[in-house]
Structure 1
Amino acid sequence: MTRVKRSVHARKKRREVLEMTRGFRGEANHNYRRAKEALLKADQYRYRDRRNRKRDFRRLWITRINAAARMNDLSYSQFMHGLQLAGVEVDRKILADIAVRDAEAFRRFADKAREALAAAA
Structure 2
Amino acid sequence: MRATNGSAKKRSRKRLLKKTKGYWGGRGNLYKKAIETYIRAMAYSFRDRKVRKREFRSLWITRINAAVREHGISYSRFIRGLTVAKLDINRKMLAEMAVNDKPAFANLVEMVKGKVGASL
Return the TM-score normalized by structure 2: 0.94
CA-to-partner distance for each residue in 1:40-82, whole Å, 9 max, x for gaps?
1001101101111111111011010000011111110011101
1:72 counterpart letter in structure 2: H
Identity %: 39
Number of equivalenced pairs: 119
Match of 1:25 in 2: 24
| Structure 1 ranges of 4+ moved more than 4 A | none
Asked if 1:43 is matched to 2:16, the reply is: no
1:1-121 aligned at under 5 Å gives the runs 4-121=3-120
- Partner secondary structure for residue 72 of structure 1: coil
* Structure 1, gaps ≥5 residues long: none
Q: Find the aligned partners of 1:58 and 1:26 in 2 and give their Cα distance.
A: 36
2:50 counterpart letter in structure 1: R
Q: Find the aligned partners of 1:63 and 1:25 in 2 and give their Cα distance.
A: 36
1:41 counterpart letter in structure 2: R
Return the TM-score normalized by structure 1: 0.93
Name the stretch that deviates more: 96-105 or 3-12: 3-12
